C-alpha cells in the first residue's frame, strides 16, 4: 500500500494521473525555516519530516513525503501568508528566473518501523512574464495563492510563466517522472 503524506489536491491529481493507487494521510508537521540553510537541505528535511510524522498511523506500506519551495536571488520563498505577501512575492519574481525545488522522501515501513529510506530532489528553472501591479492583482484574485510556494499556479489557465526548463510537474509540487521511476524500481508500479 502507498500512502501520500500530503493534503495537496495537486499532488493527489498527479499521482492519480500516473496510475498510482494510494491513500492520503495528513502529515502532522509544522515547517521550520533555517535562514542559513540551503534550499536543497530545507526541502529534503521537510519532505522527510512530513513522511516521518505519519509513521505512527501506518503499520505497513510506502509513505511518500513531499515538500516544494521557490528559490530566487539567494532567498527561499515559501507559501504566502496573506494577499500582501503574495503580491510582494509575485512582484519580486516577475520577469526573473527562479528555481523550484521539490524533494520526495520514500519510507518503506513494516510493523511501524522504517525498513528502507530514500530521499531525492528535483530542480526546475522558471521565468515569469514581466507583470505590472494591475496584472499581479488580477492574477491573485483568480487563483488560490495561499497554498502555493511562490504564490503562483503554473497549471492555471491564466498563464504568467514565460519559460520553463525542467519538469513541469515538479513546479506543480511533485516530480511525476522521477517518482514513477523510483516506484517502478521498488516494484510498486
pLDDT tens-digit series, residues 146-160: 888 899 988 877 789
Mean pLDDT score of the chain: 92
Statement: 2-185 belongs to CATH 3.30.365.10: no
Of 104-113, 118-127, 134-143, 156-165, least confident by mean pLDDT is: 156-165
DSSP state of 35: T
What positions carry a catalytic annotation?
67
Q: Would you say 137 and 87 are in contact if contact means Cβ atoms under 8 Å apart?
A: yes
- Most distant CA pair in the chain: distance in Å? 55
- CB contact burial 4-37 (16+ within 10 A = b; e otherwise): bbbebebbbebbeebebebeebebebeeeeeeee
Q: Where are the domains of the chain?
A: 2-185
Q: CA torsion sign, 105 to 43 to 172 to 53?
A: positive
Q: Regarding beta strands 113-128 and 75-77, do their DSSP bridges make them parallel or antiparallel, or are they unpaired?
A: unpaired
Report pLDDT digits (tens) over 23-62.
Answer: 999 999 988 777 788 999 999 999 999 999 999 999 999 9
Segment 16-23 long-range contacts (CB within 8 Å, at least 24 positions apart) = 17/176, 18/176, 18/179, 18/180, 18/189, 19/189, 20/183, 20/189, 22/64
Amino acid at each position: 500500500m502507498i500512502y501520500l503524506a500530503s493534503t495537496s489536491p495537486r499532488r493527489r491529481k498527479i499521482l492519480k494521473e500516473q496510475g498510482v493507487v494510494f491513500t492520503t494521510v495528513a502529515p502532522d508537521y509544522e515547517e521550520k525555516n533555517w535562514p542559513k540553510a540551503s534550499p536543497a537541505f530545507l526541502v529534503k528535511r521537510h519532505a522527510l519530516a512530513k513522511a516521518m510524522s505519519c509513521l505512527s498511523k501506518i503499520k505497513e506500506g510506502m509513505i511518500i513525503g513531499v515538500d516544494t519551495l521557490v528559490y530566487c536571488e539567494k532567498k527561499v520563498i515559501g507559501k504566502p501568508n496573506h494577499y500582501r505577501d503574495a503580491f510582494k512575492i509575485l512582484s519580486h519574481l516577475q520577469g526573473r528566473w527562479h528555481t523550484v525545488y521539490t524533494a520526495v522522501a520514500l519510507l518503506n515501513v513494516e510493523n511501524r518501523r522504517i525498513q528502507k529510506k530514500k530521499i531525492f530532489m528535483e530542480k526546475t528553472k522558471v521565468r515569469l512574464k514581466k507583470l505590472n501591479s494591475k496584472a499581479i492583482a488580477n492574477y491573485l484574485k483568480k487563483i488560490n495563492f495561499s497554498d502555493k510556494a511562490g504564490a503562483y499556479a503554473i497549471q492555471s489557465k491564466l498563464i504568467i510563466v514565460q519559460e520553463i526548463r525542467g519538469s513541469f510537474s515538479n513546479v506543480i509540487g511533485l516530480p511525476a517522472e522521477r517518482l514513477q521511476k523510483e516506484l517502478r524500481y521498488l516494484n510498486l508500479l
